[in-house]
Copies of this chain bind each other. A is one copy, B any other.
């Protein structure tokens, strides 16, 4: 059994992650470290866990946690996560980071978007970006894997093959996202009070969202082409689905069918990427690690439609894929036929 430690007990995604991990046949939760809830039992805080997990939150530092584990999964905010990650890796443990700290290719772009100095700049550009279906080759030997942002994950997965194969123009891509409330990772973001989200659509970070920068950086880095995107995330009144509507200009004489064939060929071995002919919906992937993708002609552009569960893709599902890759476990281990058993 792989011994897993979890950092960041106060994150609202914690319960979902724990419920998911409880079913992984090869991973065992060794310890959960938090600050404000140390000493509490997990099932006091999360009554869904009564009779299912009897384990205290520990008030221990990152390196002590590392000494108990094979790998540590971090839900800490950016900056904090970076400092913990360095300690963990120095202690000889591996590190799967849900924060943005290791997602970018260089410190300059990180610092521009996060307004803080990066204290481990030499690793940037070396840490694999955690989309298993695209970058698994580098997972096996990775000390650190940077899980993608929840908005970035489906976007990169859809666009990277098309850019690599020169099927689309890279100077004018539109990415329009409709996201449930649990798609937000870090503040600042719109209010998540019930009556601010209920019966409301609210865009945010239009033209200035940090994952907008992340997507452009990752796509440009992986394809050696400059990529320009218009990016608008919107909160819609639901808990956890995410729908990405991507509008592209195909390269000269490329058809919607060629776009579709390219995606099919890239992902034919990937259990969790389903290139479908019907229109995807978020319900069809809710509480699973699947991403459903369809391609349509639409006026002068081609539209790619992708549905994911934001708490899995770009969350715990991605993290489990990272761990499977790191430790050479079966690709679908802990994910196949599994849907989220969390409350969230």
Within 8 Å CB of A229, what residues of B? 299-300
| A contact patch SS | loop
Q: Is A281 on the interface with B (CB-CB < 8 A)?
A: yes
Q: Is A48 on the interface with B (CB-CB < 8 A)?
A: yes
Report the Cα distance A117→B229, complex, angstroms: 43
Of the candidates B202, B249, B344, the one whose C-beta lies within 8 Å of that of A195 is B344
Q: Is A265 on the interface with B (CB-CB < 8 A)?
A: no
- Judge whether A247 and B230 touch: CB under 8 Å: yes
Minimal beta-carbon separation of A5 from chain B (angstroms):
21
Minimal beta-carbon separation of A202 from chain B (angstroms):
4
Report the Cα distance A64→B254, complex, angstroms: 51
Name A residues whose Cβ lies closer than 8 Å to a Cβ of B.
12, 19, 22-23, 47-48, 50-52, 171-172, 174, 176, 178, 180-182, 192-204, 206-207, 212, 228-232, 234, 236-241, 243, 245, 247, 249, 271, 274, 276, 278-288, 292, 296-301, 303, 305, 307, 337-344
Report the Cα distance A229→B301, complex, angstroms: 8
Report the Cα distance A172→B303, complex, angstroms: 13
Within 8 Å CB of A297, what residues of B? 207
Minimal beta-carbon separation of A341 from chain B (angstroms):
3
- Judge whether A305 and B206 touch: CB under 8 Å: yes
Of the candidates B203, B283, B284, the one whose C-beta lies within 8 Å of that of A279 is B203
- Judge whether A288 and B236 touch: CB under 8 Å: no
- Judge whether B283 and A199 touch: CB under 8 Å: yes
- Judge whether A47 and B284 touch: CB under 8 Å: yes
Report the Cα distance A288→B344, complex, angstroms: 13
> Which residue of chain B has the shortest Cβ distance to A278 in the bound complex?
B47
Report the Cα distance A231→B298, complex, angstroms: 7
* Across the A-B interface, the 7 shortest Cβ-Cβ residue pairs: A339-B341, A207-B298, A201-B243, A230-B299, A236-B236, A200-B283, A230-B301
Of the candidates B282, B300, B305, the one whose C-beta lies within 8 Å of that of A199 is B282
Minimal beta-carbon separation of A158 from chain B (angstroms):
15
Most buried by B among A47, A50, A201, A344: A201
Within 8 Å CB of A178, what residues of B? 178, 201, 234, 236
Report the Cα distance A299→B172, complex, angstroms: 8
Report the Cα distance A52→B23, complex, angstroms: 18
> Which residue of chain B has the shortest Cβ distance to A342 in the bound complex?
B339
Within 8 Å CB of A182, what residues of B? 195
Within 8 Å CB of A180, what residues of B? 199
Within 8 Å CB of A237, what residues of B? 194, 236-238
- Judge whether A287 and B341 touch: CB under 8 Å: yes
